[in-house]
Structure 1
Amino acid sequence: MDSRRRRRRQDVQSEDDYLSNLPDELLSHILSFLPTLDSIRTSVLARRWRHVWTSVPVIDFSYLQLKPFVMNRFFASRGGESVSRLHLSGLSNIHDHGIIVGGRIIAERRINRGHPVYKLLEYVKSHDARHVTLRKFSFEYCSNSLLDLLFDWPSLASLNMQLVGFTNLTLFKFCKFRLSNLKTLSLSLGKNTISNEILAKLLSACPILQELQLKADYPQARHESIQIQIPSLLRLTLIPVPSKLQINCEKLEYLRLKADANLMHLHVEAPSLTSVRLYRFWRFGTFAQTICNVTTVAIRVSNKRLLGLTPIFLGKYKAVVQGFPIFHKLIELKIKIYVAEQFSLDIVFDLLRCTPNLQSLILTEYKKPSPSRDEDLSEWENSSSRINEPLEHLERVSININSERIQSTFLKTLSEIVPAWDRVVVTC
C-alpha cells in the first residue's frame, strides 16, 4: 500500500513539476514576458526556481517600483547576467524621490548618478542591453550626466522614448550623441519643441538608422525648415508634420504623415518609396504629384470636423482629390471615412479614377459621433455623375460600413466599373 502511495505521489509531483523540468534557457525566456517583480516572485515556488529570474534577459519595471531598497537587492542578486532589453513604464514621478512635508515638496532630487533611474540605465548599459523603452518619462529634472548616459550608447539598437511634462530640450545642445548601431528610434516629445539644429545633431549620430518615428512640435519661426536626410532610412513617421519639411532619403520605403496645419513647403526625394499613409491629406497640396510610383496608399478621407463644414470647403477637398495624378503602380488602396455626407463616397470614386491597376480596396468607416443619417446619401444613390474607367485588375474588396443599405449601394455601384466582378472576393 505504501509503495503504491509513494508512486502515486511521485506521479503527481512529476505532473506538477513539468514546467520546472524545462531547461533554464527556456524558463528564462518564459519569464521574460512577465514584469520583473512578478518574475522575482517565482523564486518562492520551489528551490528549482530560486535563481531562475536572475538570468532573465529582459528587465521590466514601472517607475514607482524603483525604490532604492528594491534596486539594491535587485542588483546584488542579478550579478553579471547579460541584459537584452529594458522597459520602464507608468508615469515617472520624480517627486517620489524628494522630501515631502505636509503634502508639499520642499526638496527634489535630480536624476543624477545617485538616482534609481540612473543606476538602472547604467546597469543595463554595462550589461550589453541593446533595446531600451522609456514610457511616460519625465525629463524635467534631468541632469546632463543622464542625457550623456542615454545618448552616448554605441551598442544600442533601438530606443523608444515617450516624454511627458515640460522638457528643457536645450539640454540636448550640450549632449554627446553616439548611437552608431541604432536602427530604430521612436521619440514622442509631447508638446515640446525640437529645432532642426538639435534634430540634425541627433540624426547625424545614427548612421545606420532604418526606422524613425517622431512626434513633436517645431519652432514657429517661418524660416525654420526641418530636414530629414538619412541615407539608410527605410520607414519614417512624422506626427505632426512641420510646416516646412524636406525629406531626402534614397532608401525610404514607407512614409506616414499627419499634418495639423497647411504646409508651407514640402519637398520629398525618396525614389524607393512604395507605401504612404496620409492623414488630413487635403493639407498636402501638390504632394501627391511626387509619389506616383507608390504601390500602397492608406489615407483618411475625412475627420470629425468635416461633418459640419460648409459645401465650399467640401468642394475644395474634392478638388484636391480630383487633381491627383494617375497612380499606375498602385495595387492596394486603404481608405478610412466618415460615411455621413454625400461627398464622402464621391471621394472614394474620385480616388478610384486615379488607380487603373488597383488589385485590393479596403474601405473602413470611422465610428461617427452621432447616428448615421441614411437620408444624407439619398441624392448620392440616385446620382449618375460618377463615370470611372474600368477597374480590370481588382481582385479583393473589404468593406466595413455600418449601414447595410449604403454598403450594398456602394458595392452595386462599384460592380458597374469592374468588368470581372464575379471573380472579385468581397468581404464585409
Structure 2
Amino acid sequence: MSADDAAHLFDGMSKDLSSTPVRGADRISSLPDHLLHHVLSFLPAQAAVQTCVLARRWRHLWRSTTGLRIVGLDGPEPVEYLRVFVDHLLMLRERTDLDTVEIKLGTFSEDDHPYIKLWTRFALMCKVRALTVHIYDPYLYLDDLPLVSRNLRTLDLEGVGLNDYFLDFSSCPALELLKMNLCDISVDKISSRTLKHLSITNCRADLGSKVHLSTPGLVYLKLDNFSSTTPILVNMASLEAAFVYLGEDCIDVCGVLCGTNTIACENCVPNSSLLLGGISSAKHLELMSEFGKLIFKRGLKHCPTFSKLKTLVLNEYWCEAPDMDPLLCILKNSPVLEKLTLLLFSKGPNHMVEMKGSYSSVERLPETSEHLNMFEVKCNVVDGRILKVMKFLCAFNIRFSF
C-alpha cells in the first residue's frame, strides 16, 4: 500500500466516520508520537503501514517507527510478494534511526537474494541496534562484505551462511550479543573484543575446519550441537558461565583433528585441551556429551584448574567409565566447587526423579573441594545405571533424599 493509496482510503473512511457519533475517547491516539512510534515497531511492517487509515493523526506515523519487522508470507515464493512492498516502504519511510530490525522469511528463490541483502544493509545504514535475520529454507549466504556498524549491539542469525568477511567484527565496537542457530559457519576465526554473550546452536562448518573463538570480554557462552570439529576456544578470561553440548554430529575423531588415522593419537591432545582450558575461568559450567566423543576425555589428560568454578552440571557421559575417572578428574581440579548436579539419562527440563544429597560425615570424595556439600541427581527412572553412580557416591558418605 503506497502513501497515496492510504491517503485516498483514509479520505473515504473519514467521510463515513464523520457522521458516526463518538462513543468513547481514543486514548491511544492521545499518546505522544514517540510512544506511538515505539508501539508500531512491534507490528509486522504490513500491519504498521495499514494503521494510516485509522485517523488523520496516524497517516504518517508508520514512517518513523523505531522498529521494522519484515515477515514473509506462507506459501511458495513468499519473498517475491514482499519485494515491491518493502522497496516502497524503505523509500517512503523517514530516515530515522532504527532500534530493531527483524527479517524473518520462509521459502525464497535465488532471485530474492539481492533484495534480502539490500534490506540487511539498509538496517545497518539506519544505525540499527538489534538486527535479526531468520531464514527457514534454504540457506541464505550473506555478502562477501565486512559487517560495519558502530551502533549494532545484538545480532541474531538463523539459517544463514557466513564467511570471514561478515563475521569480522573489528568494525562493530558496540556488539555485545551474537546468536547463531542453524547457520553454515565457513570461517577460521570469530573475534570480538566487546562480545559478552555468544550462542552457537545446531550450526555446521566445513569438514576438517577449525573455528577459533577469540572473545576476551565474553561473559556467557553456549555451544550446543556443533556439526563439525569442536571450535577452539582462546582468550576467554572474563567468562562466567558456559553451556557446552557435544552432540551426535560432533566430529572429533583423530583423522579429522590431526590428519592421522591413529585412534590413540597424542597429537590431538593439545587441541582437545583448548576446549576445557578456554572455559576454565567460569563460575558456572554445564558440560554435556554423547557417548564416544573424544574431546572432553582428551582434554582431561591435560586438565586445567577450574579456579573459580562454584556450580557444575554434568550428564551421564562423565560417569560411563567403571572407576568414574572423568568425574573424579574434573572434581579434583575444581578447588572451590560448591554444588554438583548430575543429569543422568534425562534431557529435562522436567525430570521424573530428583534426589538431593550431602555428606553425612567428614570423609569426602578424595582430593575434592572442601566447599562441595550440595549434590543433585536428576533422572527419569532409577535403574541399574543410576544405581551404579549412586553406589559410587554413597561410598564416600554422600547420602541422598527424594
TM-score by structure 1 length?
0.61
Q: Unpaired segments of 5 or more residues in structure 2?
A: 1-21, 253-270, 348-363
Deviation, structure 1 residue 238: 2.6
Q: One-letter code of the match for 1:285?
A: S
SS in structure 1 at match of 2:367: coil
Greater helix fraction, Structure 1 or Structure 2: 1
Match of 2:184 in 1: 217
Matched, 1:248 2:236: no
CA distance in structure 2 between the partners assigned to 1:122 and 1:412 by the alignment: 70
Q: Structure 1's 109 and 83: CA in aligned 2 closer, same or farther, altered over 3 A?
A: closer
**Maintained 8 Å contact 1:293/1:329:** yes
Q: Structure 1's 147 and 214: CA in aligned 2 closer, same or farther, altered over 3 A?
A: same
**Maintained 8 Å contact 1:294/1:327:** yes
Q: One-letter code of the match for 1:278?
A: V
Match of 1:73 in 2: 53
Q: Deviations over 1:404-423 (max 9, x none)?
A: 466676456435547xx68x
Matched, 1:193 2:161: yes
Matched, 1:351 2:320: no
Q: Structure 1's 349 and 96: CA in aligned 2 closer, same or farther, altered over 3 A?
A: same
SS in structure 1 at match of 2:167: helix
**Maintained 8 Å contact 1:298/1:333:** yes
CA distance in structure 2 between the partners assigned to 1:74 and 1:179 by the alignment: 36
CA-based RMSD: 4.4
CA distance in structure 1 between the partners assigned to 2:49 and 2:280 by the alignment: 59
CA distance in structure 2 between the partners assigned to 1:414 and 1:213 by the alignment: 38
Percent of aligned positions that are identical: 20
CA distance in structure 2 between the partners assigned to 1:408 and 1:45 by the alignment: 71
Deviation, structure 1 residue 247: 2.6
**Maintained 8 Å contact 1:338/1:344:** no
Q: Deviations over 1:62-92 (max 9, x none)?
A: 58xx389847637972634864444555756
> Aligned runs of 1:360-379 on 2, under 5 Å?
360-367=339-346
Q: Structure 1's 45 and 347: CA in aligned 2 closer, same or farther, altered over 3 A?
A: farther
> Aligned runs of 1:57-72 on 2, under 5 Å?
57-58=38-39, 59-61=41-43, 66=46, 70=50
CA distance in structure 1 between the partners assigned to 2:283 and 2:180 by the alignment: 24
1:204 maps to which of 152, 170, 178:
170
CA distance in structure 2 between the partners assigned to 1:78 and 1:338 by the alignment: 61
CA distance in structure 2 between the partners assigned to 1:274 and 1:319 by the alignment: 23
**Maintained 8 Å contact 2:147/2:167:** no
CA distance in structure 2 between the partners assigned to 1:78 and 1:366 by the alignment: 58
CA distance in structure 2 between the partners assigned to 1:96 and 1:124 by the alignment: 23
**Maintained 8 Å contact 2:149/2:171:** yes
**Maintained 8 Å contact 2:177/2:198:** yes
CA distance in structure 1 between the partners assigned to 2:180 and 2:317 by the alignment: 27
CA distance in structure 2 between the partners assigned to 1:206 and 1:70 by the alignment: 35
Q: Structure 1's 139 and 342: CA in aligned 2 closer, same or farther, altered over 3 A?
A: same
Q: Structure 1's 149 and 358: CA in aligned 2 closer, same or farther, altered over 3 A?
A: same
Match of 2:312 in 1: 333
Match of 2:152 in 1: 182
Q: Deviations over 1:258-290 (max 9, x none)?
A: 432235x73512222232221118847222234
Match of 2:351 in 1: none
Deviation, structure 1 residue 361: 1.8
Q: One-letter code of the match for 2:330?
A: L
CA distance in structure 1 between the partners assigned to 2:170 and 2:296 by the alignment: 40
Match of 2:273 in 1: 286
Matched, 1:262 2:232: no
**Maintained 8 Å contact 1:61/1:88:** no
> Aligned runs of 1:16-415 on 2, under 5 Å?
46-49=24-27, 51=29, 55-56=35-36, 57-58=38-39, 59-61=41-43, 66=46, 70=50, 73=53, 77=58, 79-80=60-61, 83-87=65-69, 95=77, 108=80, 111=83, 114-115=84-85, 117-119=86-88, 126-136=95-105, 140=109, 141=112, 142-143=114-115, 145-154=118-127, 156-167=128-139, 169=141, 172-173=143-144, 177-188=147-158, 190=159, 192-200=160-168, 203-215=169-181, 216-219=183-186, 225-239=187-201, 240=203, 242=205, 243-258=209-224, 259-263=226-230, 266=232, 268-280=234-246, 283=252, 285-287=272-274, 288-302=276-290, 306=291, 313=292, 319-320=297-298, 322-323=300-301, 324-337=303-316, 347-367=326-346, 388-404=366-382, 410-411=389-390, 413-414=392-393
CA distance in structure 1 between the partners assigned to 2:319 and 2:23 by the alignment: 58
CA distance in structure 1 between the partners assigned to 2:345 and 2:366 by the alignment: 25
SS in structure 1 at match of 2:166: helix
SS in structure 2 at match of 1:289: helix
Q: Deviations over 1:140-177 (max 9, x none)?
A: 414264233123222x221122112235535x23x685
Q: Structure 1's 86 and 345: CA in aligned 2 closer, same or farther, altered over 3 A?
A: farther
CA distance in structure 2 between the partners assigned to 1:123 and 1:366 by the alignment: 56
**Maintained 8 Å contact 1:254/1:274:** yes
CA distance in structure 2 between the partners assigned to 1:198 and 1:257 by the alignment: 20
**Maintained 8 Å contact 1:87/1:134:** yes
CA distance in structure 2 between the partners assigned to 1:162 and 1:292 by the alignment: 33
Q: Structure 1's 408 and 427: CA in aligned 2 closer, same or farther, altered over 3 A?
A: same
Q: Deviations over 1:110-163 (max 9, x none)?
A: 72xx32x44556777745431233334566414264233123222x22112211
Deviation, structure 1 residue 397: 2.8
